[in-house]
Structure formats: structure tokens, C-alpha cells
Amino acid sequence: MQEVRDLAIVLRSIPFEERHRIVTALTEHHGLVSAMARNAVQSRRFGGALEPFAASEWHFVQKPNAELVRLEQAHIRRSFEGFRGNFDRLALASLLNEIVLRVAPSIENSGDLFRVHSNALAWLEEGTGIEIALLNGYIGKILQWSGNQPLLASCMECQRPLGELPPEAALVGMVADAGWICPNCRSQGTRHVRERQGQSFEHSVLKISALVIADFYTSLGTPIRQVPQLARASKEEHIELFRFLQGLLAYHLPSFEPSTLKSLRFLAL
């Protein structure tokens, strides 16, 4: 068995028996990896490399058909200590960890997802701007990465471009269709609205502003660390967008269930 080296960001770390830890991390080239770190509870063997959010170089050994790899060494690169004293940012970082735990593939190259996640944590440590805009941009990149990018360029019914609408225009986000319709089509009771009446949340319609959709559309092609600074919509508008994106994740990614995200209870969303 050959030792493997990869960069890893710890998503979850739990004690096992009395001396060991089971650590789950997002790695750059092997996706989601769960490892047994022997004698990690009461020793300094791994330092702070097994704490949540820690970015390290992992050395691990994987046995065929084994659920857990054996973690031999972990050399910390960045601890992301900067946001641990800020409750809101710590809660948001925990939410990002929970999201990626549910969507990352196991033992598969995940370089793009790894970079988005690490850069989002870096912004939480040192960035300025609207925090909820970072979360929305992060979810947008998750949807984009998974092949479920929303259709945002124009109204799904009349094809009116987003750029022709005033920023304050109230759009209707269609969760099941991953798109939106304009105020005129909404008032006419188009088929998209009629077909969703009385159905579950995943098939529901949600109010969102044209300006926040423009923010989201911009974020898809912008490095995640720049997304909050470029946001033009208000915090309240971004909270409305988050509710829409939460529905998209639940509907279009079968492995994702928003109600199981424990960190949401600590965020005013």
C-alpha cells in the first residue's frame, strides 16, 4: 500500500473510543476522505491539524474496499483562526462545512470545489462585505459545479432579459424550474405560476429582486473572495435569495437536505 499525499480541509472531527479520532476532510485530489487518526486524542502527534477548518497536508494510506483511510501524518498549512472569535462568521464557516459534506464526492478529484471552499474560508478570516452574499455565491458555485446552474439570463416565460428590468423589480423565483419570471408574466398568471399553486415548498414560488439576481449572476463568474465586495443588493434581498437557493439545493441535489443543517439555527436567515 502506497502512502498518498494531498491537501485537506477538515470538515468534521469526532472522538473514537478513548484515544483515536475519525476525521472527515475535503481533499484537493481525492474529494471527501474519512480517516482514522490513531492516538490523536491525548497526544500532540497531529498538533492542531485535526481541528475543524484546519488546512493541512495529509499523508494517508488507503486499503482496498476500506471505508476509512489511515492517517499517518498531517502538517498544518493554515488554521483559519481569524474567524473563530466571531460568532456569526464561525457559524457561517460551519454551515459551509456542512454543505460540502453533503455534496462532495468521495475519492474523486475535487480541485475546483476545494479551491472554492478554501477561498471562502479565507474570506471569512480576513474579508469585508455582506456575509450572506458570500453564502449565496458559494451555493451558486456549488450548483454550477454540480451541473445545476439556474437559468438567470431572462424570464422563463417571455424571455425578457434581466438587464432590461429595473433593479427594484420584484421577480418570482421558480424552485423546480431553477429560474425566474418577470412581474408582467406573474400578474398574467402564466403556466409556471398556475402549475405550482398548492404544491410543496420545492415547487413553490419565492419573491426575489432583480438586483439580487444580478448579484448572483455576477457571482457565478467571479472568484468567491470577491463576491461580497461586488454585491449591490441589500442584506435583506440576499436573505430572500438564500431561501430560493436553499430550495434549489433541496430539489436538484438528491443528497442534500437543508433541514439537517445544524448551523442554520445560529444564523439570522
**Which string of DSSP letters, residue by residue, matches 139-161?**
HHHHHHHTT---B-SB-TTT--B
Sequential DSSP letters for 9-44 = EEEEEEEETTTEEEEEEEETTTEEEEEEETT-SSSS
Distance CA 117, CA 130 (A): 17
Query: What element of type H or E holds 180?
Result: strand 179-181
CA nearest to 163, candidates 210, 219, 232, 206: 210
pTM: 0.90
Contact 179, 156 (CB under 8 A): yes
pLDDT value at residue 189 = 56
* Dihedral of alpha carbons 66, 68, 74, 76, sign: positive
pLDDT value at residue 228 = 96
Q: Residue 236, Cβ neighbours under 10 Å: how many?
A: 11
pLDDT value at residue 199 = 46
Distance CA 256, CA 99 (A): 8
pLDDT value at residue 188 = 66
pLDDT value at residue 232 = 96
Supply angle C-alpha 96, 101, 102, rounded to 5: 105
* Beta strands 170-174; 179-181: pairing state: antiparallel
Burial of 102 (0-12, 13-18, 19+ CB in 10 A): middle
Residues 6+ apart with CB under 8 A from 265: none
pLDDT value at residue 206 = 83
Around 124, how many Cα atoms within 13 Å sit in the side-chain half-sphere? 29
Query: What element of type H or E holds 229?
Result: helix 227-230
Residues of the chain with pLDDT under 70: 188-204
CA nearest to 116, candidates 138, 136, 131, 101: 138
Domains of the chain (ranges plus CATH)? 3-86+100-118 (2.40.50.140), 145-266 (no CATH)
Q: How far apart are the first and last CA of the chain?
A: 47
pLDDT value at residue 266 = 92
Torsion of CA 181, 218, 165, 159, to 10 degrees: -40
CA nearest to 246, candidates 258, 238, 254: 258
